[in-house]
Amino acid sequence: MNDLNLSLKQPVLGARAQADKRARLAVILVNWNRHADTIECLESLLRADEKTRIIVVDNGSTDGTVERLKAWAAGVEAYEPPLGPLKRLTTPPFPKPVNLRVIEPHELDSAKPGDEQVVLLLAGENKGFSGGNNLGMRFALEDPAIAYCWCLNNDTVVDPGAPGAVVSRMNATHKVGMCGTQVRYYHRPGVWQALNGQRFKLLTGQSRGIGTNVPVTRPFDPKKVARETDFVLGASLAVSRAFLETVGFMEESYFLYFEEMDWSVRNRGRFAIAFAHGAIIYHKEGGSIGSSGQKGQRSEASEYYLIRSRIRFYRRNFPLLWPLQYPLAMGLITRRLLRRQPKKAAAMTRAMLGMSFD
């Protein structure tokens, strides 16, 4: 994982975006059967003040994502902003056509970044959260001007100043490795999902978001938040080129969950964790796989990968605590049975026994 294997028409909105300079920040969106979310996110990113290189990785979607993105970019399919207060982030729709470049699976090994506003990398299969982001970051780093990669969930929208705030904070942080943002709930924009990231309990593998469910009107100390961050929330996680060249990319064996925790463990004593407190994003949370943070609302797939990835994380990083994860998993399975959720319990049992989800 430590081997990098490295061997926009300009947006019309935003003064800095019109400046004649190359983007320093690449934004990576991983899409799987959620083209409507991806398009809304793209509409917000294209309106940002800071010029970015936007890369969408499609993980083998079957919902017509490629055709829908092409139609959106060409202006053939009109974008309809959503109702509600966040409509302001994508209104009016970004002028079309958008310079969209599609790269087929057989072209991935040789393709180089160009002057496209948005590039769509077709993975050809579902590589998971880590594999999809890794594919996008490897492509981004083929552009020597890129200093930072921002892995951003496709079910988010961003304030216009968010990309610039990420770049500014990372520029200002000595030996920066990872950087998070304010993440607010899309459907409850007055409440934080997390400030920067989460605190992690080593014994149980459980984590708790910093500022989770706290009103955004409450004051906070950005430096204190950065110090308390054990790992940056994966929904909005930027990393530096130097970090990737030293620590490596995400561990792909997880497929989903615990990637950012693994990254933080591998980073210990190397690079700083920063907090771009001026960057605000809004997250719908759990769109693709049902990874809801609400009690009892996670999907069977989400429950499966949480157990599987937790066990793999401890086996890789804390082998002395690895055996403890099995009785903890049994406790969670029993809880699902008591809630009369036998299908979830069955999926979690398969994960604990090292069996496939299907």
d(CA 239, CA 193): 20
- Joined tokens for residue 287: 């769109």
pTM of structure = 0.89
If we measure between CA atoms, which residue out of 269, 272, 273, 258 comes closest to residue 317? 258
Which residue reads 């080593």 in tokens? 202
> Cα(277)–Cα(96) distance, rounded to whole angstroms?
32
Under 8 Å between Cβ of 121 and 136: yes
Give me the tens of pLDDT residue by residue for the chain, a chain 358 residues long.
Answer: 333 333 333 333 343 333 347 899 999 999 999 999 999 999 999 999 999 999 999 999 999 999 999 999 999 999 999 989 999 999 999 999 999 999 999 999 999 999 999 999 999 999 999 999 999 999 999 999 999 999 999 999 999 999 999 999 999 999 999 999 999 999 999 999 999 999 998 887 788 999 999 999 999 999 999 999 999 999 999 999 999 999 999 999 998 899 999 999 999 999 999 999 999 999 997 544 544 445 556 889 999 999 999 999 999 999 999 999 999 999 999 999 999 999 999 999 999 999 998 7
Exposure class string for 91-108: b at 16+ Cβ within 10 A, else e: eebbeeebebbbbeeeeb
Note whether 140 and 151 are within 8 A (CB): no
